[in-house]
């Protein structure tokens, strides 16, 4: 595991709660759905306000920031939001996690060229879906640009094994009859296992399995050396541009 991810993987600890990586992703989604229209993807679009560098003008503590999010700032354009304490906290945790993250991407890319690489040379759709087209084998990337930032995305492409998120882990089962199925682990309990493979979600009774366990290596190939620096930058720019579906 890479040093850069350590702070994030361990979760962000705020005053009352600790937030897991998945919570921070939810916070990130909430941010892009409810805040980004005014504050921008980088948190600096409202003049004089900078949400992603860890310092706030009107609040000293995380709870203070969460309170601003929930109550708004009367007399300004900052509206109140009907979010629970936990949701507001997860947004703050997201803002903190961005601030804590160092690193920058090598070069600037072109979104259209990146899209062409994604669908062509990179063959990313053999495993990933964007806006309902592609495969279910890997995580859906429709809103990857809303939940990851460029440096993380670049690392995902160069070193897929570096950090695999809990929701993206690959699991393999072998049935009594010898059928082998691998897929992303969705859920499991004492008796059953749920996986997502290319066909969709599937459930297995553990009693009916000969073997089961995590697959250590990511099925995703590293693109180190397979794409030029420019191609990589293009691809990352394309991924950053994927912010989910827009309301029509």
Partner 1 sequence: MIRRTLLLVLIAGSMFAQVSFERILNAAKEPQNWLTYSGGVQSQRHTGLTQITPDNVKNLEQQWVFQARSLEKFEATPLVVDGVMYTVQAPNDIVALDAVSGRVYWVYAYIPSPAARPCCGMINRGLAILGDTLFMGTVDAHLIAVNAKSGRPIWDAKVANAESGYALTHAPLVVKDKVIVGTAGGEYGIRGFIAAYDVKTGKEAWRFYTIPGPGEPGNQTWAGDSWKTGGGSVWVTGSYDPELNLTYWGIGNPGPDWNGDSRPGDNLYSDSVVALDPDTGKLKWYYQFSPHDEFDYDSVQVPVLAEMQWKGSQRKVMMWANRNGMFYVIDRTSGEFLQGKPFAKVNWLTGFDEKGRPMRAPGKTPSTEGTLIYPGNQGATNWYSPSYSPRTGLFYIPTWENTSSIYFKSPVEYVEGRQYTGTFPRMTVSFRGNIQNQITEDEGYGAVHAMDPKTGERKWEFKMADVTESGILTTATDVLFVGGREGNFFALNARNGSMLWKAALGGIIANGTISYSVNGRQYIAVAAGNSLFTFALRQ
- Site residues for partner 1 per CB under 8 A: 26, 30, 33-34, 80-82, 129, 131-132, 136, 140, 142, 175-177, 179, 181, 186-189, 191-192, 194, 196, 199-205, 207-208, 244-248
69 binds ligand HEC (CB under 6 A): yes
247 binds, among partner 1, ligand HEC, none (CB under 5 to 8 A by kind): partner 1
Instruction: Say whether 50 sits in a helix, a strand or coil.
Output: coil
Write down the least CB distance from residue 96 to partner 1, Å.
21
Near ligand HEC in 152-191, by CB under 6 A: 153, 156-157, 160, 164-165, 168, 170
Looking at the DSSP bridge assignments, the partners of residue 212 are 173
223 binds, among ligand HEC, partner 1, none (CB under 5 to 8 A by kind): ligand HEC
Report whether 65 contacts 73 (CB < 8 A). no
59 binds ligand HEC (CB under 6 A): yes
Instruction: Say whether 224 sits in a helix, a strand or coil.
Output: coil
Q: What 3 state SS string does 80-144 have?
A: CCCCCHHHHHHHHHHHHHHHHCCCCCCCCCCHHHHHHHHHCCCCHHHCCEECCEECCCCCCCCCH
49 binds, among ligand HEC, partner 1, none (CB under 5 to 8 A by kind): ligand HEC
Which CB, 113 or 188, lies closer to partner 1?
A: 188
Write down the least CB distance from residue 216 to partner 1, Å.
24
Contacts of 35 by beta carbon, 8 Å cutoff, 6+ apart: 51, 91
Report whether 243 contacts 148 (CB < 8 A). no
Contacts of 188 by beta carbon, 8 Å cutoff, 6+ apart: 194
Write down the least CB distance from residue 176 to ligand HEC, Å.
26
Tally Cβ neighbours within 10 Å of residue 165: 14
Which CB, 91 or 98, lies closer to ligand HEC?
A: 91
Which one of 13-21, 175-183, 204-212, 214-222 is the stretch in contact with ligand HEC (CB under 6 A)? Answer: 214-222
Q: How is residue 217 annotated by DSSP?
A: S
**What is the DSSP secondary-structure string of 153-189?**
HHHHHH-TTT---GGG-EEEEEETT--EEEEEEEEE-
Write down the least CB distance from residue 197 to partner 1, Å.
10
Q: Which of 104, 222, 238 has the alpha carbon at shortest distance from 158?
A: 222
Write down the least CB distance from residue 75 to ligand HEC, Å.
8
Q: Interface with ligand HEC by CB under 6 A: which residues? A: 34-35, 37-39, 46, 49, 51, 56-59, 65, 68-69, 73, 76-79, 81, 91, 118, 122-124, 126-128, 137-139, 144, 148, 153, 156-157, 160, 164-165, 168, 170, 218-220, 223, 235, 239
């Amino acid at each position: 595991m890479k040093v850069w991810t350590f702070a994030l993987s361990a979760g962000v600890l705020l005053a009352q709660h600790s937030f897991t990586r998945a919570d921070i992703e939810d916070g990130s989604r909430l941010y892009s759905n409810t805040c980004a229209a005014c504050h921008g993807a980088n948190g600096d679009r409202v003049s004089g306000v900078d949400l992603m560098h860890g310092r706030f003008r009107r609040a000293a503590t995380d709870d203070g920031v969460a309170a601003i999010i929930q109550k708004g700032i009367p007399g300004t354009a900052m509206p109140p939001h009907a979010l629970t304490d936990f949701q507001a906290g997860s947004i703050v945790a997201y803002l903190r996690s961005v601030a804590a993250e160092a690193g920058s991407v090598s070069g600037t890319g072109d979104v259209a060229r990146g899209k062409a690489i994604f669908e062509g040379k990179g063959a990313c759709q053999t495993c990933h879906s964007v806006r309902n087209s592609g495969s279910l084998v890997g995580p859906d990337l429709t809103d990857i640009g809303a939940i990851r930032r460029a440096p993380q995305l670049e690392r995902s492409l160069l070193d897929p094994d570096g950090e695999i998120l809990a929701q993206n882990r690959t699991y393999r089962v072998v049935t009594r009859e010898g059928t082998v199925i691998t897929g992303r682990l969705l859920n499991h309990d004492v008796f059953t296992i749920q996986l997502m493979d290319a066909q969709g979600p599937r459930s297995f009774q553990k009693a009916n399995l000969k073997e089961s366990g995590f697959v250590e290596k990511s099925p995703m190939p590293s693109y180190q050396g397979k794409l030029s620096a420019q191609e990589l930058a293009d691809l990352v720019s394309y991924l950053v541009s994927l912010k989910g579906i827009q309301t029509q």
